[in-house]
């Protein structure tokens, strides 16, 4: 039995990880500021059996208290949202990067055996492409993107491995990369093990429905629950990788323990690609609202990417990671959970915030 501290543990992924740890007999402490954007709706309560310490990740004194007796840390606390990060810059850099710095500073005097940090697929920018001869292409520009020309000419999207060069196209991506690198380098210097999981699009019951800045399935579900069409940027044919939150929780448990994971980064996705348009339509059908067709904005958000989906072979080989939840089953479970939820639909307001700042073209 280990004592595990989960920062951001009252959030969507944190609650699932906590439940999985408790089920295998670990002791779990959650450290979370319960920020209003995530916790103002009817979010699920932290799981029974987990201790909750309410505090900001930048509050060094409170954090040090919460670290007492802890063996390993899972660091999830973060402001989460690509579009919003482009105008709430100080808020994102403060919580994500200064927050990680304060955590690591505290760990230098109260070391733990291992830290697992949540990184993000957003650090890749565009995923890997291949040219007509099948050669990998890592550096691409979306400068010419416009209606009818959203795709990159002469290039085919391909599964993205961890070795792909990062392309930090948004403030959020930058902050996630800093979280990842700070954790790996500081832990190595102080004799602690560190692992970074680059999560792709995580979905499942318990996603914050009233946060219009992150979680495309939750955003679409909030629209549909309110009888409105999902707002789909560009032409909807951008491809992503949706991974179920229970598979992500299993990946965190493996990353806490696997000896060879120390110092490594892993993609955690389903390994399958889907278009956003297909996801919007499938969700409307699953929610018994097939008559609500998605609304295509034919506009592109600043910092947004066209295609990115995971090559998960490294996590399979080294963590024993196997995504178990089929998308159709995961969606059915999400829809079951949604039946008991109400959601404030903030998607229009979120779009207006971006447009007012010239961040949609
Ligand atoms: N959900 C996804 O698809 C996804 C994809 C890639 C990476 N991630 C990463 O996974 C982690 C968890 O994401 P999530 O989807 O559960 O998000 P979430 O918003 O549900 O959870 C984040 C939690 O962090 C807390 N938090 C925010 N700022 C804080 C601060 N200053 N101090 C203390 N706590 C604070 C929030 O209250 C919230 O409970 C994040 O680091 C996120 O960047 C998520």
Query: What pLDDT was estimated at residue 339?
Result: 80
Residue 213 belongs to a domain: yes
Give 259's DSSP letter: G
Residue 265 belongs to a domain: yes
Residue 361 belongs to a domain: no
Residues 6+ apart with CB under 8 A from 95: 56, 57, 58, 77, 78, 79
Query: What pLDDT was estimated at residue 344?
Result: 60
Q: How far is the CA of 303 from the centre of ligand 1 (A)?
A: 19
Residue 205 belongs to a domain: yes
Query: What pLDDT was estimated at residue 258?
Result: 98
Q: Measure Cα distances from 205 to 177, 220, 333 in Å.
A: 27, 14, 7
Query: What pLDDT was estimated at residue 342?
Result: 64
Which helix (DSSP H) or strand (DSSP E) does residue 266 occupy?
strand 265-268
Number of domains in the chain: 1
52 CB-contact burial (10 Å; exposed 0-12 / middle 13-18 / buried 19+): middle
Question: Between the CA atoms of 268, 36, 171 and 87, what dihedral angle is there, to the nearest 10 degrees?
Answer: 150
Q: Measure Cα distances from 259 to 188, 263, 299, 319 in Å.
A: 15, 10, 45, 9
| 244 vs 241: CA distance, rounded Å | 10
Q: How far is the CA of 225 from the centre of ligand 1 (A)?
A: 24
Residue 197 belongs to a domain: yes
Longest dimension (CA), the chain: 58
Would you name the residues annotated as active-site residues? Answer: 172
Domain range for 207: 3-356
Residue 53 belongs to a domain: yes
Is the Cα dihedral 59, 67, 247, 313 positive or negative? positive
Q: What are phi and psi of 314, to 5 degrees?
A: -70, -45
How wide is the angle at C-alpha 70 spanned by C-alphas 172 and 19, nearest 5°?
70
Query: What pLDDT was estimated at residue 142?
Result: 87
Query: What pLDDT was estimated at residue 345?
Result: 62
Q: Which of 77, 120, 210, 216 to mutate to test the pocket of ligand 1 (most atoms within 8 A of CB)?
A: 77
Query: What pLDDT was estimated at residue 46?
Result: 87
| 346 vs 262: CA distance, rounded Å | 40
Walking along the chain (361 residues) 10 residues at a time, the average pLDDT comes out as 97 97 98 91 79 98 98 98 91 98 97 98 96 95 90 95 94 97 98 98 87 79 90 95 98 98 98 96 93 92 87 98 96 88 64 68 65
Residues with CB under 6 A from ligand 1: 8, 10-14, 32-35, 38-39, 56-57, 76-80, 95, 99, 118, 120, 176, 199, 201-202, 208, 215
Token duo for residue 28: 């779990």
Q: How far is the CA of 78 from the centre of ligand 1 (A)?
A: 4
Composition of the chain by helix, strand, coil, percent to 5: 40, 20, 45
- Per residue in 117-129, pLDDT tens? 999 999 999 999 9
- Per residue in 204-240, pLDDT tens? 998 877 676 678 898 898 889 889 999 999 999 999 9
Query: What pLDDT was estimated at residue 197?
Result: 99
Q: Relative to the CA of 43, which ligand 1 atom is closest?
A: 20
Instruction: Give the CATH number for residue 215.
Output: 3.40.50.720
Residue 288 belongs to a domain: yes
| 218 vs 338: CA distance, rounded Å | 9
Query: What pLDDT was estimated at residue 63?
Result: 98
Q: Do residues 39 and 10 touch, judged by C-beta distance below 8 A?
A: yes
Which helix (DSSP H) or strand (DSSP E) does residue 120 occupy?
strand 114-120
| 327 vs 272: CA distance, rounded Å | 9
Residue 106 belongs to a domain: yes
Q: Whose CA is nearest to atom 12 of ligand 1?
A: 76
Q: Relative to the CA of 32, which ligand 1 atom is closest?
A: 34
Give 240's DSSP letter: E
Q: Whose CA is nearest to atom 26 of ligand 1?
A: 77
Token duo for residue 7: 């920062």
């Amino acid at each position: 039995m280990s004592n595990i501290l989960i920062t951001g543990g009252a959030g969507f992924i944190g609650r699932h990880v906590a439940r999985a740890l408790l089920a295998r007999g670990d002791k779990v402490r959650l450290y979370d500021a319960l920020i209003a954007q995530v916790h103002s709706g009817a979010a699920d309560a932290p799981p029974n059996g987990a201790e909750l310490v309410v505090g900001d990740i930048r509050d060094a004194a409170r954090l040090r208290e919460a670290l007492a007796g802890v063996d390993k840390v899972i660091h999830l606390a973060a402001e989460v949202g690509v579009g919003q990060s482009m105008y709430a810059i100080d808020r994102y850099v403060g919580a994500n990067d200064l927050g990680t710095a304060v955590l690591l500073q505290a760990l230098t005097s109260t070391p733990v055996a291992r830290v697992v940090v949540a990184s993000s697929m957003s650090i890749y920018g565009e995923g890997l492409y291949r040219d007509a001869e099948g050669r990998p292409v890592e550096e691409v520009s979306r400068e010419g993107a416009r209606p009818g020309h959203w795709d990159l000419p002469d290039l085919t999207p391909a599964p993205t491995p961890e070795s792909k060069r990062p392309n930090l196209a948004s403030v959020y991506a930058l902050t996630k990369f800093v979280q990842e690198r700070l954790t790996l380098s500081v832990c190595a210097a102080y004799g602690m093990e560190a692992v970074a999981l680059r999560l792709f699009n995580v979905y499942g019951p318990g996603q914050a429905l009233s946060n219009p800045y992150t979680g495309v399935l939750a955003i679409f579900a909030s629209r549909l629950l309110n009888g409105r069409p999902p707002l789909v940027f560009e032409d909807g044919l951008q491809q992503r990788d949706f991974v179920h939150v229970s598979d992500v929780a299993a990946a965190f448990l493996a990353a806490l323990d696997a000896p060879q994971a120390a110092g490594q980064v892993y993609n955690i996705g389903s390994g399958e690609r889907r278009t956003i348009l297909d996801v919007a339509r499938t969700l409307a059908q699953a929610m018994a609202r097939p008559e609500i067709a998605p609304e295509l904005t034919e506009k592109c958000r600043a910092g947004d990417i066209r295609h990115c989906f995971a090559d998960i072979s490294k996590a399979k080989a080294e963590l024993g990671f196997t995504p178990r939840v089929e998308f159709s089953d995961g969606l059915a479970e999400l829809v079951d959970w949604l039946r008991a939820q109400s959601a404030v639909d903030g998607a229009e307001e979120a779009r207006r915030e971006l447009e007012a700042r010239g961040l949609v073209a």
